[in-house]
Amino acid sequence: MVSIKSILKCHGVHEWLLVRVSAVWMLLYIVYISIFIISSNNLSYDKWYDFFSKNITKIFSIMTLLSALSHTWIGIRHILEDYITLPVLKQLGTWITGFILFAYLFFGMIIIWSV
């Protein structure tokens, strides 16, 4: 039986792949937003509101938010593992980072779906 700790602890190839896939996903989102900006003649609040009120844009935004947060989580965790030697500070940094990223996810979801 596989323990929950081993499921949550992905290192090596899994993390490398997740970071690369999330970076590509964020690049696609930047291209998506850029195409909207370039194709619009006169940007106004109404055009931005209509653009972000579409379900496809909301889903794409949430997936990009999740990609950015997972990318950040892996990067910060590796920095903490490599440069912080005290286990207590490492654990504290991990908890603080997790709390902040969860808050970003929570408020990001509220902001995206409130449009």
We report the CATH number of the domain holding residue 95 as: 1.20.1300.10
What is the extent of the structural domain holding 69?
4-113
What would the mean pLDDT of 42-62 be, rounded to a whole number?
A: 95
Of residues 12 and 100, more confidently modeled: 100
What is this structure's pTM?
0.85
| Confidence (pLDDT) at 41 | 86
pLDDT band at 13 (very low <50, low <70, confident <90, very high): confident
Predicted confidence (pLDDT) at residue 1 exceeds the cutoff of 90: no
pLDDT band at 12 (very low <50, low <70, confident <90, very high): confident
Number of domains in the chain: 1
User: Buried (b) or exposed (e) across 67-92, using 16+ Cβ within 10 A?
Assistant: bbbbbebbebbeebeeeeeeeeeeee
| Confidence (pLDDT) at 5 | 57
